[in-house]
Amino acid sequence: ETGVTQTPRHLVMGMTNKKSLKCEQHLGHNAMYWYKQSAKKPLELMFVYNFKEQTENNSVPSRFSPECPNSSHLFLHLHTLQPEDSALYLCASSQDPTNIQYFGAGTRLSVL
């Protein structure tokens, strides 16, 4: 257990569905992250939150909408996704954005 919990572990959704991914960290960290991991590609940073404020948005399409209500929780709201969005979505947290990141087990998303 890394102290970062993601739910659900697996998700299958149609292109017109709306769903949300949840991440919770029990490490007392101030920074949280969403990454996308596709086959044969490096981990792609999507969003960074530091003290609940979004500090990075790496040109992510608006069909992905993050929410960080407090330093322990991070959501990724999904709407009108495309099949190419199928991937492993990883959440991570760290004490601050320059420090070691601890990852959750990820949500395996399939978009049909």
Interface residues with other proteins (CB under 8 A)?
Answer: 2, 4, 40-43, 45, 48, 50, 55-56, 58, 88, 90, 97-98, 100-106
DSSP summary character for residue 84: G
Strand partners for 50: 31, 53
Instruction: Select 58 or 110, whichever has its Cβ closest to other proteins.
Output: 58
Instruction: Select 18 or 56, whichever has its Cβ closest to other proteins.
Output: 56
Task: Compute the least distance from the CB of residue 77 to other proteins, in Å.
Answer: 22
Task: Compute the least distance from the CB of residue 60 to other proteins, in Å.
Answer: 13
Q: Is 61 exposed, middle or buried (0-12, 13-18, 19+ CB in 10 A)?
A: exposed
Task: Compute the least distance from the CB of residue 42 to other proteins, in Å.
Answer: 5
Distance CA 112, CA 108 (A): 13
Strand partners for 56: 48
Instruction: Select 75 or 102, whichever has its Cβ closest to other proteins.
Output: 102
Distance CA 85, CA 38 (A): 9
